[in-house]
Structure 1
Amino acid sequence: MPPQSRRRKRHQPRRQLRPPPLTLPERTPDTSTSSHLLSTAKAYLGFYKTGMRYLWANTKLVRALPRPRDDDGDTATTRAQRLLRLRWRHDMRRLPVFGVLLVVCGELTPLVVLLVPHVVPYPCRIPKQVDKLLRQAEARRAASFARGTGGGGGDEDADSEMKQKEAGLVRVDPLSERLTDAAAVHICRSLQLLPPLWDRFGSPFPTLARRTAMRALRALASDDAQLRACGGVAALAPAEEVRLACAARGLDVRAVDELTLRARLDAWLALTETAAADRRRTRDSGHDEDSGDGDQVQAMQIALLTRRPEQWPQR
């Protein structure tokens, strides 16, 4: 295997981190209702059984990873390892409730999970459930854009600025963006970092939102760097991983073709890389020597997350 192919493979998330294929039986005129329902129930139970096997396989892989040494509790050296650990943690938090749900509801589980889609580990999510979560995420993101703020208690000037940016009325320099309380809460809503219940009460804890948003920005910067290291968007496969990468950056992935998503993800990577290059040139020229690449990249990330792709800066 060529070195470039090996490098790409080391950064590609494992198949077991995504739901298995779900093939439901088609009902023909000769098929009775009871027979069709039984076949459908078997298909769903087979799907969940495979998903649980995926979770067990991921658990064994995580246990084989090096023990965490740093403050973030992560020693992953490749994108595949980092995503394995992150998605495994996400799934393990949901496994106990889902396990009880599966035992109690049995073949009715596919109907019940549509009522509580968040309690299901990702490898066990049926397509309708995934679509519902995407619709809910976009509705919440659109509401945050519409109100032009991250919630109550934010700076009024920042609120007005976000409304103007969303409407495309101003051309703010993206490298001058700051993580205001309004921007932080908007990012948390857009990336689903805080429970939707917060939306009903505004943002009573902006400090928590800022810390959560900062942690997300650092994680995205790390993911951007690893994506570039493995060959960029062109090396990302399959299409579902492209959608997951775009969704992680607050992009609407519903009813959007793969080519468009790849183009938007490529634009994101190019803009954040340009921001880092601009900061390096500034530092090398002897100006603002105490600053690193992070503040420029963070400013660009905030600009991208608080705008729709149509209002992103030109490359």
Structure 2
Amino acid sequence: MLQSAHSPLNSSLPPPLPTSAGLADKLKRYVEFGRTYVTFYKTGLKNVYRNYRASLPLRKQLGLPIYLPVSPPRTISHQNPKKERQESNLGRGQFQLVRRSARDVRRMIPFTMILIVCGEFTPLIIPIFGSAITPATCRVPSQVEKERVGSVKRKLAALESGRLPLKPDSSEQLRLLAKQFADLAWTASADPASVLRACAVFGLVKRHDKTASALLAGLIYRPRLTRYVEYLAIDDRMIRAGGISSMSATEVRIAVEERGGVDISGTSDRKQAEKLERRWLEQWIALKKTVQ
């Protein structure tokens, strides 16, 4: 089971100062503020290590290297039936543990270096790099929400660059995501601009309209998109086997966001948003079942 560092951080922070507080008091409060964050980050890094240790038997089962934190899948399943059977033997929780712990380990080294060098000033530095170097266990809610807003903007910009504008919660957009962007045959034949659009929608690239990125689409981004689409196919099968009703609200939201549905709720009411996200994921699974 994944361990996170989502301890009650806000309750540990020093109380706000009155507006009349002097410079010395403000500086002292910031140092205390920074130390609280450092403690939070250290707990998060410990959880990265624990998660990866817990994933080692599963990595051996999948034939993944122990000391290189690569994420499954490494090969296309329909080209390697044995690999597909190995992944299918894992439950979704175990599969996600292997995948997410490897991703966090890849971010652990740069994040740790910043923490060592910057100490209490780390909270000022982390927003510059965002999730690119921050393990999931070290992200505070405000950072997660900022990343979500950025993902929505990148996705909408990529979709609006197409021929027809699509409403965020429309069935047309869902079909575009499920039957084109998340289809292995499409990723193999799509033009570079479309590959970049799909990568931006799935959060695999920051911009969909860079000239340099278009030149590298065939060498870097098409293989990256292909691996990601294969991951989604595996995850779809696991979700279908376990049932969406058995998934927590957090897991449903993550699954929706991974499939490009980061803007489908449009509401701050989490209960209502969860209902919309579950319905969206059900529609996605139904669509993917018709094409697999």
TM-score of the superposed pair, with normalisation by structure 1: 0.67
> Against the structure 1 CA distance between its residues 95 and 174, is the aligned structure 2 distance closer, same or farther, given a 3 Å change threshold?
closer
Mapped to 2, the partners of 1:177 and 1:231 lie a distance apart of 21
For residues 22 and 173 of structure 1, the distance between their equivalents in structure 2, rounded to whole angstroms, comes to 37
Aligned in 2, Cα 1:101/1:66: closer, same or farther, shift over 3 Å? closer
Q: Distance in 2 between matches of 1:170 and 1:94?
A: 36
Partner in structure 1 of residue 200 of structure 2: 189
CA distance in 2, matches of 1:47, 1:96: 17
Amino acid at match of 1:25: P
* Residues 122-133 of structure 1: pairs in structure 2 closer than 5 A: 122-133=136-147
Match of 2:36? 43
Contact 1:242/1:261 (<8 A) preserved: no
Q: In the alignment, is the contact (CA less than 8 A) between 2:5 and 2:40 conserved in 1?
A: no
Contact 1:140 1:190 (C-alpha < 8 Å) held by counterparts: yes
Aligned-partner Cα distance in 1 for 2:32–2:169: 52
Structure 2 counterpart of 1:79, from 81, 92, 99: 92
Cα distance in structure 2, aligned partners of 1:271 and 1:42: 45
Q: Which residue of 2 aligns with 1:140?
A: 154
Of 250, 259, 264, which residue of structure 1 is paired with 2:260? 250
Aligned to 1:64: 57
Match runs of 1:153-232 below 5 Å: 160=163, 163=164, 165=166, 174=175, 177-178=179-180, 179=186, 180-181=190-191, 182-194=193-205, 196=206, 199-201=209-211, 203-207=214-218, 208-232=220-244
Residue identity opposite 2:47 in structure 1: Y
Distance 1:216 1:264, change over 3 A: farther
1:252-295: CA deviations, max 9, x gaps? 26854333443343334433443466x5xxxxxxxxxxxxxxxx
Q: 1:221 to 1:69 in 2, by over 3 A?
A: same
Deviation at 1:123, TM superposition (A): 0.8
Deviations 1:155-190 (A, max 9, x none): xxxxx3xx2555999979959955233543322101
Measure, in 1, the Cα distance between the counterparts of 2:168 and 2:42: 47
Cα distance in 1 for partners of 2:73, 2:261 equals: 26
Deviates more, 1:100-109 or 1:116-125: 116-125
SS of residue matched to 1:65: helix
Query: 3-state SS of the aligned residue for 1:251?
Result: coil
Q: Is the 8 A contact 2:151 2:203 kept in 1?
A: yes
**Contact conserved, 1:184 with 1:210, CA < 8 A, in 2?**
yes
Q: Runs of 5+ in structure 2 lacking a partner? A: 65-71, 75-82, 181-185
Q: 1:276 to 1:20 in 2, by over 3 A?
A: same
Task: Go from structure 1 to structure 2 and tell me whether the alpha carbon gap of 1:86 and 1:197 turns closer, same or farther (over 3 Å shift).
Answer: same
Pair 1:169–1:51, CA change in 2 (3 A): closer
Q: Distance in 1 between matches of 2:140 and 2:43?
A: 12
In the other structure, the counterpart of 1:4 is none
Per the alignment, residue 310 of structure 1 pairs with none
- Structure 2-normalised TM-score? 0.72
Counterpart position of 2:9: 22
Q: In 2, distance between residues paired with 1:35 and 1:124?
A: 24
Distance change >3 Å, CA 87–CA 265, structure 1 → 2: same
Q: Which segments of 5 or more consecutive residues in structure 1 lack a partner in the other structure?
A: 1-12, 149-159, 280-295, 298-315
Superposed displacement of residue 250, structure 1? 1.3
Separation in 2, partners of 1:172, 1:120? 31
Deviation at 1:110, TM superposition (A): 0.5
* 8 A contact 1:110–1:126 mirrored in 2: no
Cα distance in 2 for residues equivalent to 1:110 and 1:93: 20
Question: How many residue pairs are counted as aligned between the two chains?
Answer: 251
Letter paired with 1:212: R
Higher CA-based Rg? 1
- Which structure has the highest helix share of the two? 2
What root-mean-square deviation, in Å, do the aligned CA atoms of Structure 1 and Structure 2 show? 3.5
**Whole-angstrom CA distance in 1 between matches of 2:143 and 2:73:** 31
